[in-house]
Chain A
Amino acid sequence: MHTELCSHCGSKVKERVLSKFENSVFCCIGCRSAFSVLRQLGLSDTYYRLRGSSTQAIPAQLANDQFRYLDDPSFKKVYCRDSNETSIQFYLEGVHCAACIWVVEKIPEIIPDVVNSRLELGSGLASIEISQNGSFSDVAQFLNSLGYRPHVVKAGEEKKYQIAENRRELVRMGIAGFSSANLMLYAVSLYAGAVNSGYQALLEWWSFVVFLPAFFYGGLPFYRSAYSAIVSQKMSIDVPLVLGMILGAIMSTINLFQSNGVIYFDSIATLIFLLLASRYVLKRSQQRALESSSLSQFLTPSIVRKWKIDSNSSEEVSLDRIEIGEIVEVRSGETIPVDGKIIRGRSFLNESLITGESQLVSADIGQIVYAGTINDSSPLWIEATSLGAASRVGRIISQIEQGKFKKAPVIELADKVAKYFLWGVVFISGGLLIASYWIGLTESLNRILSVIIITCPCGLALATPLAMVRTIARAGKKGIIIKSSEALQRIYECDEIFLDKTGTLTSGSFNVINFNLKTVTVESKEYFNILCSIFALEGLSSHPIAKALVRYSKEKLDSQNFLESAQQLVVTDFQEIAGYGVRGYCNGQMIEISRARSADSERLRNILVGNDQVSTQGTWVEFKIDGKILADIELGDKVLEDAKISVQELQSKKVFSNRLWVLTGDTFESGSKLAQILGISVSNVKAECSPEQKAEVVKQSKYSLMVGDGANDSLALSVAHASIAAHGGMEVSLRVADCYLSVPGLKGVLVAVELAKESFKVLNRNFLFSVLYNILGAGLGIFGLLNPLWAAVIMPLSALTVFFSSMVGTRRMGLILKGVAKK
């Protein structure tokens, strides 16, 4: 049994999707369409040659949007980056290699009236410029067909500010680097013997001059930070660092003017340079993590269909143009964009975003509906009563934004350490000053300097953040986006996990879960005939079960290229019987798809026993030809594949055993059924919870980790000690959570928890090393066994040990991410 690789993206193929091209196999319909587009345009050879060097396998994502709104003049006014309204920026999902750059920048040659196209890999941003006759929607359509789902990015002021700030920091770093490199040159000369020649004074004074820019300009951010730390009485690691820098500079200058003693300008300048470099790296990767999160989720404009009564049709406009009283058309599968009243149409709604209940609720004329719910079955026409921030969901969002539920700030370990360092240093310095009565002032000052230099916690300040950053970046690449190293620390501190049910542990939508054929096999032609009949018959009904069956059969048929023949199937004598099912004639045979009778439930339960996949509310449906049952189909809300394994793994950890909870807005019955499947005790299930009640439960636990998504979890996510937003979550969850998983499944939670533990181990280890080192060094310094010069030389050694300890830690974290680490 060999695993095939997708011919387009290279990821492992679990279920083959066939194509008309021989020797090619695809993992999904998106990849197949991207491949055929490239083939048609004659771009295949070069594209796959360039892609050959890339190691990431990202399947193509297709969006169902039409993109026509991109050509609307009012839209362009808001989103275009220039006044001529000819350039725009898209965030593209899934760009990761040279081939992507190549094909995106080839757009001017492929689509008419496109002047320029440039892709930035790091951020995924594509800048497109068109001529007056050009169309953004054509570009978006093309990008979409290639599998790079485009999202429009608003021209923001923050980005410009950020770029300017980064550049300033780079220049600062460059100046510090220039200064320290030249200073090292002079220092080497001095050590090499210039001390004895007449040039000592020249070199020393010149060192002083070159030192000034690094000290005053390069060190500025640290002085500012240390100053604000002292003023607000919040200790930070910058304080002892700055103390070392300033004292070293003063002592060196004094020695310079007195023409005796050693000078340390080079050491201090190098320290400043290294610190600036590490801070810059830290900042850039944090920016990148936040960027990919904010761009793809927050800036997609909401397009709705405004219904015009006089013309009896709808036009696509931006959501902010809708006013109260206007009518919006919401088709099946779309999210309702406003709070309002149904004035036309009947359908079923998925209200899981508001209530957490996954079962579909019927919606009739006159009923009030809320923004964020999904219209599942038939088109609805809704008169808007509240919009945006005034809608129910909007109000929750703004409450959170106003910081009503701000988390207590985490005191970073490094800052805690800094407090002890500082007091220790002050104590020792005081002692040495007193001792000057016996050993003389110069000697005692020298010893103080040695102590300060050697206890300087640059190792902690440098190596630890870098280790954290590297891990966070790599986790980000795997789809686990952690906001900061504080977030990791908070996750580590948790000892109780609260899991939301709908959307987190289950898929959140009504779908086909089991398809059991009774007489024929999956590979046979009869199976596809069955699927074709289902597709044809259920396509004529708008019941939620029908929609689910149509979705399922369509996907299966399309992947094997049978969709066209299914669409040509003719159904006669179609009947839809409420409470029972559908019936019709196809090719002379009577086809029935109906609810399984309760007498059959015993038979169906036996089927369930052998199956790994289980649902929480199974609805069974039978497929019959001429009265004979050929298939049993189960529909419901599917438990996510890896949920069971992940939950068991989490429970096996001592910290969490029996402290896993399931919170849900659904009935107690479905909640406890799910708990049983996952292996969580039924007493740990809290059902029928409103968003407020969930938050209440979470607040009562001191070190709670909340895992959820959707507006109905955002309150709970913000009050928990640490929080993880699961895939498919709403905008708010992503802003409020410490970590969010952009890949579906609960495995991300497990990985995040393990990463947190490992990172804590690294921090502790580093801390231990630093303390040991400093005790040793301080001891030597106090007794005058170490002069300041040697102190300055040895100090980097402590940084090196911490660095290596971090490297070992990140290696283990890398293994965790790859999924192979042993506990």
Chain B
Amino acid sequence: MNLIILMIPMALILGLLFLGAFIWTVKSGQMDELESPAARLLLEDLEQDKIKNKERV
């Protein structure tokens, strides 16, 4: 049970890290609009294809 002295702070620090990351994403505007990133995913595939085709040629 001594482990719990370590576990609680660890869990909290990990949680705080994630919370910090979340607050950062919100403040930097990544959460303002959630539909475009879903569509942009397809565009990324396109870029990958282009690069692959160039490499082949």
Chain A contacts to B: CB under 8 angstroms:
46, 50, 53, 97-98, 101-102, 119-123, 163, 166-167, 170-171, 174-175, 178, 181-182, 185-186, 189, 194, 197-199, 202-203, 206, 210
Report the minimum CB–CB distance from A198 to chain B (whole Å). 8
Task: Please tell me which one of the listed residues A101, A171, A197, A206 contacts residue B1 in the complex, with CB atoms under 8 A apart.
Answer: A197
Report the minimum CB–CB distance from B52 to chain A (whole Å). 15
Q: Are B26 and A171 in contact (CB under 8 A)?
A: yes
Task: Please tell me which one of the listed residues B29, B31, B33, B43 contacts residue A98 in the complex, with CB atoms under 8 A apart.
Answer: B43
Q: What residue of chain B has the Cβ atom nearest to residue A193's Cβ?
A: B1
Q: Are A178 and B8 in contact (CB under 8 A)?
A: no
Q: Are B18 and A101 in contact (CB under 8 A)?
A: no
Q: Are A174 and B8 in contact (CB under 8 A)?
A: no
List B contacts of A53 (CB < 8 A).
42
Complex CA distance for A210 and B19, rounded to whole angstroms: 13
Task: Please tell me which one of the listed residues A101, A120, A166, A210 contacts residue B12 in the complex, with CB atoms under 8 A apart.
Answer: A210
A185-B11, A199-B1 are contacts. A101–B36 as well, Cβ < 8 Å? yes
DSSP majority for the A interface? Answer: helix
| Seed contacts A102-B46, A171-B27, A174-B19; 6 additional CB < 8 Å A-B pairs | A170-B26, A170-B31, A171-B23, A175-B19, A181-B15, A198-B1
Q: What residue of chain A has the Cβ atom nearest to residue B28's Cβ?
A: A167
B55 contacts the other chain (CB 8 A) = no
List residues of B (7-57) whose CB comes within 8 Å of A's CBs. Answer: 8, 11-12, 15-16, 18-19, 22-23, 26-27, 29, 31-36, 39-43, 46
Q: Are A101 and B46 in contact (CB under 8 A)?
A: no
Complex CA distance for A98 and B1, rounded to whole angstroms: 53
A102-B43, A178-B15, A210-B12 are contacts. A189–B36 as well, Cβ < 8 Å? no
A50-B46, A189-B4, A199-B4 are contacts. A121–B15 as well, Cβ < 8 Å? no
Q: Are B39 and A174 in contact (CB under 8 A)?
A: no
List B contacts of A175 (CB < 8 A).
19
Report the minimum CB–CB distance from B14 to chain A (whole Å). 10
Complex CA distance for A174 and B22, rounded to whole angstroms: 7
Q: What residue of chain B has the Cβ atom nearest to residue A194's Cβ?
A: B4
Complex CA distance for A123 and B18, rounded to whole angstroms: 29
Q: Are B26 and A122 in contact (CB under 8 A)?
A: no
List A contacts of B40 (CB < 8 A).
98, 101
A50-B42, A181-B15, A182-B12 are contacts. A121–B23 as well, Cβ < 8 Å? no
Complex CA distance for A338 and B34, rounded to whole angstroms: 42
List A contacts of B46 (CB < 8 A).
46, 50, 102
Report the minimum CB–CB distance from A786 to chain B (whole Å). 31
Q: What residue of chain B has the Cβ atom nearest to residue A197's Cβ?
A: B1
Interface size class of B (residues with CB under 8 A): 20 to 34
Task: Please tell me which one of the listed residues B4, B11, B33, B41 contacts residue A122 in the complex, with CB atoms under 8 A apart.
Answer: B33
List B contacts of A203 (CB < 8 A).
4, 8
The 6 closest A-B pairs by CB, nearest first: A98-B39, A122-B35, A98-B42, A121-B35, A121-B36, A178-B19
Q: What residue of chain B has the Cβ atom nearest to residue A189's Cβ?
A: B4
List B contacts of A170 (CB < 8 A).
26, 31
Q: What residue of chain A has the Cβ atom nearest to residue B22's Cβ?
A: A174
Q: What residue of chain B has the Cβ atom nearest to residue A182's Cβ?
A: B15
DSSP majority for the B interface? Answer: helix
Q: What residue of chain A has the Cβ atom nearest to residue B37's Cβ?
A: A121
List A contacts of B29 (CB < 8 A).
163, 167
Q: Are B36 and A166 in contact (CB under 8 A)?
A: no
List A contacts of B11 (CB < 8 A).
182, 185
A-B contact count, CB below 8 Å?
A: 72
Q: What residue of chain B has the Cβ atom nearest to residue A50's Cβ?
A: B42
Complex CA distance for A199 and B2, rounded to whole angstroms: 10
A98-B43, A102-B46, A174-B22 are contacts. A119–B36 as well, Cβ < 8 Å? yes
Complex CA distance for A226 and B25, rounded to whole angstroms: 31
Q: Are B32 and A174 in contact (CB under 8 A)?
A: no
Q: Are B36 and A174 in contact (CB under 8 A)?
A: no
29 contacts between A and B (CB under 8 A): A46-B46, A50-B43, A50-B46, A98-B43, A101-B40, A102-B43, A120-B33, A121-B33, A121-B39, A122-B34, A163-B32, A166-B31, A166-B32, A167-B26, A167-B29, A167-B31, A170-B26, A171-B23, A174-B22, A174-B23, A174-B26, A178-B18, A178-B19, A185-B11, A194-B4, A197-B1, A199-B1, A203-B4, A206-B8
Task: Please tell me which one of the listed residues B4, B16, B39, B42 contacts residue A178 in the complex, with CB atoms under 8 A apart.
Answer: B16
Q: What residue of chain B has the Cβ atom nearest to residue A118's Cβ?
A: B36
List A contacts of B8 (CB < 8 A).
186, 202-203, 206
Complex CA distance for A54 and B27, rounded to whole angstroms: 31
List B contacts of A189 (CB < 8 A).
4
Q: What residue of chain A has the Cβ atom nearest to residue B46's Cβ?
A: A46
Task: Please tell me which one of the listed residues A122, A181, A199 contacts residue B36 in the complex, with CB atoms under 8 A apart.
Answer: A122
Complex CA distance for A202 and B3, rounded to whole angstroms: 13
Complex CA distance for A198 and B35, rounded to whole angstroms: 50
Complex CA distance for A121 and B19, rounded to whole angstroms: 27
Report the minimum CB–CB distance from B9 to chain A (whole Å). 10
Q: Are A97 and B16 in contact (CB under 8 A)?
A: no
Complex CA distance for A102 and B1, rounded to whole angstroms: 57
Most chain B CB within 10 A, of A98, A122, A163, A197, is at A98
Report the minimum CB–CB distance from B26 to chain A (whole Å). 5
List A contacts of B22 (CB < 8 A).
171, 174
Q: What residue of chain B has the Cβ atom nearest to residue A97's Cβ?
A: B39
Complex CA distance for A199 and B8, rounded to whole angstroms: 11
List B contacts of A97 (CB < 8 A).
39
Complex CA distance for A181 and B15, rounded to whole angstroms: 9
Q: What residue of chain B has the Cβ atom nearest to residue A185's Cβ?
A: B11
List B contacts of A202 (CB < 8 A).
4, 8
Most chain B CB within 10 A, of A97, A119, A174, A197, is at A174
Complex CA distance for A302 and B40, rounded to whole angstroms: 34
Report the minimum CB–CB distance from A95 to chain B (whole Å). 10
Q: What residue of chain A has the Cβ atom nearest to residue B23's Cβ?
A: A171
List B contacts of A186 (CB < 8 A).
8
Report the minimum CB–CB distance from A70 to chain B (whole Å). 24
Complex CA distance for A186 and B4, rounded to whole angstroms: 10
A167-B26, A199-B4 are contacts. A123–B33 as well, Cβ < 8 Å? yes
List B contacts of A197 (CB < 8 A).
1
Report the minimum CB–CB distance from A285 to chain B (whole Å). 12
List B contacts of A50 (CB < 8 A).
42-43, 46
Complex CA distance for A98 and B31, rounded to whole angstroms: 19
Q: What residue of chain B has the Cβ atom nearest to residue A105's Cβ?
A: B43
List A contacts of B12 (CB < 8 A).
182, 210
List A contacts of B36 (CB < 8 A).
101, 119-122
Complex CA distance for A102 and B46, rounded to whole angstroms: 10
List A contacts of B32 (CB < 8 A).
163, 166-167
Complex CA distance for A186 and B22, rounded to whole angstroms: 22
